[in-house]
Amino acid sequence: MNDFITCTISKRGNGVKADPSANYHLKAVYNRSIGMDELASRISNKCTLNTSDVIGCLNALNEEILFQLKDGNKVDLGWLGSLKIGLEAKAHSSPIDCKVSDIKRVKINYQPNKDLKRELKHTTNFRIDPKAKLKYTNS
């Protein structure tokens, strides 16, 4: 396990304002992607289920979450947080002008549980990658 999470610096323009100046933000750098097989194996090592049983449970959870979201429900996963459908849609100055065809994209909004957020906030150390600033110094 790493002692810290590395951050890099990301340059973003401000699309909302007419001001063309860029803003710089910290962005987490991920070490690697953990897949379902590895997660299932790690979970299996911590309980009485074998890896294939865990994969079956996670697959069933995935199918049930999809079903519930499609049915218009918010899915509360307790200490993990909750999932709900979010929409990216065209804005109008009048509510009368809003229509279903304004939907540009359907998203899934994840809201972590407050205890999970608090635990991450108090147990995670961050550092900025020393190379992060170099890509902007000679531009």
Question: Model confidence over 11-27: pLDDT tens digits?
Answer: 887 666 556 677 888 89
Of 77, 65, 69, nearest in space to 112 by CA: 77
Tokens for 91?
Answer: 């804005």
Residues contacting residue 3 through CB under 8 Å, at least 6 positions apart: 125
In angstroms, how far is the first alpha carbon of the chain from the final one?
35
pLDDT at 29 over 80: yes
pLDDT at 55 over 90: yes
Across the range 96-124, mean pLDDT stands at 90
pLDDT at 134 over 60: yes
Yes or no: say if 84 and 75 are a contact pair by the CB < 8 Å rule: yes
Across the range 36-58, mean pLDDT stands at 95
pLDDT at 36 over 80: yes
